[in-house]
Amino acid sequence: MRESSTLSSRESSLIRGLVEKGILQNVSGGKYSRYELGLEGEKVQRFLH
């Protein structure tokens, strides 16, 4: 598993929304570490589903 990867534009816009809401804070250059997302996974899953 790669440590980080570029997300699809749909994922990217959803996560940008999370960042704006202050749910996700670890952002660098528009790329999100899968590990970092895992740290907030519960909140992200609730938001995405």
pLDDT in tens, 2-43: 545 566 788 778 777 777 776 555 555 455 566 566 666 666
What's the whole-model pTM score?
0.33
**pLDDT reported for residue 3:** 47
**pLDDT reported for residue 45:** 59
CA dihedral 11, 17, 23, 24 (to 10 degrees): 50
**pLDDT reported for residue 44:** 58
Handedness of CA 11, 41, 25, 34 (dihedral sign): negative
Q: Which domain holds residue 23?
A: 4-48
